[in-house]
Amino acid sequence: MTKIILYTTHCPKCNVLTKKMRSKNIKFSEISDVSKMTKLGITTVPVLNVDGKLLDFKEANDYINSL
């Protein structure tokens, strides 16, 4: 099973990904702790972690659309 984590600050782009994943019944968890994001080198959100691979907004959007 694919493990998906959304790193989010609940900004408009973050909300787009959340809405798309929920509409496709994709199971995911959310992390909104900025200090955790900083430790991972995440400087902009949203970032989607799919089985350890970090995807920026465009890559995440393309990934979700492909499912």
Q: What angle do CA 21, 23, 24 make, to 5 degrees?
A: 65
Domain that holds residue 20: 4-66
Kindly state the tokens that stand for 37.
Answer: 């994001």
| Band of residue 61 on the pLDDT scale cut at 50, 70, 90 | very high
Quote the mean pLDDT of the chain. Answer: 97
Predicted local confidence at residue 1, as pLDDT: 83
Q: For residue range 30-49, what is the model confidence (pLDDT) as tens digits? A: 999 999 999 999 999 999 99
- Give me the CATH number covering residue 51: 3.40.30.10
20 close to 61: Cβ distance less than 8 angstroms = yes
- Quote the percentage of the chain above a pLDDT of 90: 99
H-helix segments, the chain? 12-23, 34-39, 57-66
- Count of structural domains, the chain: 1
Number of H helices, E strands in the chain: 3, 4
